[in-house]
Structures are given as structure tokens and as C-alpha cells.
């Protein structure tokens, strides 16, 4: 069970965007440069976030991305499903219906006990990520960073931010 690297990148990019004032955004290229990751791959994650309604895009010379809604309303679960989709991790192929003692479809109206247990674990996973918004992450990052580092980030954002309607 693996979560793709794109989720890490998208989460970091979204947290950075949450530090921008209203009406300002960052180009995908700047987001890639800030995190020292390949531009096309970062652009791909930003497109997925855009498709999921988490960021908004402006095209053209000053094109860039900004959050589409308040940071407190964007959770890590939103980011993860934007990148990975929301398909269950566990797929039940109903093998209890197979073979010499296979259960009949009528006997299988209730979810298989194995599938139900994995479903419950996935709900626990989801609820944990749904409880953490970009605001909590940004606050955690700020609390762990020396003031000088935060000033550097602020100066970089000031330099790179583009106007975005």
C-alpha cells in the first residue's frame, strides 16, 4: 500500500499557497523551483488539484495557482484524493462466492466480514486526514521554524507571487 510522491508534493505546494494574501498566486514553475522538484511533474499535480477544485488557475503571462477556497476548508484527505482518486484501497472480489462451497449471491447481500474490516480501517484513515486542514499544517510548520526561516519564505513569496483574479 503506497501513497504516491505526488501527494507529498501537492500537499507542500498547497501549504505554500495558503501563505499568500488574497488575489496572489504562484506559477507551477515557481512551486517546482521552491521545492526543487521537476517542473512538469509539479505541474501535473497542480492540474489534478485544479480539477478537484482545490486550486484555481489563471492562464496567460501571469498565470498561476491560488487556493480555490479558504485553507481551513481544504483537508489532507482532499489533497490525497485529488491526486490518487477516491477508490477504496481494498478491493473485494467476492471470492466467497467461488469454488465448491461458494456462497450464493443471496447469501452475500451483507458485505463480507473481511471487506467490512478493511472498510472500517479505511474510514479511520480517512477521518484522521479529514481532521487536518492546511491551516493546521501551516501552523505546525510555522511553530517548528525559526523566525529567520519564515522571513526568508515571506521574502521569496513577495518576489514570486503573481496577481491572480
Q: Is 22 in the site for its own copies (CB under 8 A)?
A: no
Distance (Å) of CA 67 to CA 46, 70, 113:
11, 7, 41
- For residue 160, which of 18, 20, 9 has the smallest C-alpha distance? 20
Contact 76, 3 (CB under 8 A): no
* DSSP single-letter state for residue 103: P
Contact 78, 52 (CB under 8 A): yes
Q: Is 105 in the site for its own copies (CB under 8 A)?
A: no
Piece of 11-19, 20-28, 52-60, 66-74 that binds its own copies (CB under 8 A): 11-19
Query: Residue 124 CB, nearest distance to its own copies (Å)?
Result: 4
Query: Residue 165 CB, nearest distance to its own copies (Å)?
Result: 26
The DSSP annotation for 8-76 comes to HHHHHHHHHHTTSPTTEEB-HHHHHHHHT--HHHHHHHHHHHHHTTSEEEE-STT-EEEESS-GGG-BH
Q: Is 129 in the site for its own copies (CB under 8 A)?
A: yes
Selected from 48, 76, 161, 164, the binder of its own copies by CB under 8 A is 76
CA atoms within 13 A on the CB side of 13: 37
Q: Is 41 in the site for its own copies (CB under 8 A)?
A: no
Query: Residue 100 CB, nearest distance to its own copies (Å)?
Result: 6
Residue with Cβ nearer its own copies (21 or 99): 99
Q: Is 141 in the site for its own copies (CB under 8 A)?
A: yes
* Binding residues vs its own copies (CB under 8 A): 1-3, 5, 7-9, 11-12, 15, 33-37, 76, 80, 84, 87, 89-93, 95-96, 98-103, 107, 110, 112-118, 120-129, 132, 136-137, 140-141, 144-146, 149, 152-153, 156
Amino acid at each position: 500500500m503506497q501513497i504516491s510522491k505526488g501527494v507529498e508534493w501537492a500537499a507542500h505546494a498547497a501549504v505554500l499557497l495558503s501563505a499568500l494574501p488574497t488575489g496572489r498566486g504562484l506559477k507551477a514553475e515557481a512551486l517546482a523551483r521552491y521545492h526543487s522538484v521537476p517542473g512538469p511533474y509539479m505541474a501535473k499535480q497542480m492540474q489534478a488539484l485544479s480539477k478537484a477544485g482545490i486550486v484555481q488557475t489563471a492562464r496567460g503571462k501571469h498565470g498561476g495557482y491560488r487556493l480555490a477556497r479558504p485553507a481551513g476548508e481544504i483537508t489532507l484527505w482532499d489533497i490525497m484524493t485529488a491526486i490518487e482518486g477516491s477508490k477504496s484501497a481494498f478491493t473485494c472480489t467476492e471470492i466467497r462466492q467461488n469454488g465448491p462451497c461458494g456462497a450464493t449471491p443471496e447469501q452475500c447481500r451483507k458485505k463480507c466480514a473481511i471487506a467490512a474490516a478493511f472498510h472500517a480501517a479505511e474510514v479511520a484513515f480517512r477521518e484522521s486526514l479529514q481532521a487536518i486542514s492546511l491551516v493546521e499544517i501551516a501552523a505546525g510548520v510555522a511553530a517548528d521554524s525559526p523566525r529567520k526561516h519564515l522571513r526568508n519564505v515571506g521574502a521569496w513569496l513577495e518576489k514570486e507571487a503573481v496577481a491572480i483574479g
